[in-house]
Amino acid sequence: MTDQKTFERVCDVIRETAGLDDVEMKPESTLEEIGLDSLGTVEILVAVEDEFGIQLDTEENPKTVGEFADTVEAALEK
């Protein structure tokens, strides 16, 4: 389970990078539901890496905001 603070930071990065200020995000929200296509997801990946100072595995393919946050949390624990 991802720390709430990490989840909120990931949501903030997604909102800022993708211009989704008015989109409510829950852990189960899919990236597609919130309006991200594959290019948008890559942009978010890069922004999250910069924000957290981590390197994410490009083989990871999170489908939801929660999975994205879990991936960040796992990278932070390394």
Question: DSSP of the chain, one letter per residue?
Answer: ---HHHHHHHHHHHHHHHT-TT----TT-BTTTTT--HHHHHHHHHHHHHHHT----TT----BHHHHHHHHHHHHH-
Catalytic residue list contains 37: yes
Task: Out of 3, 12, 37, 50, pick the active-site residue.
Answer: 37
As annotated, the active-site residues are 37
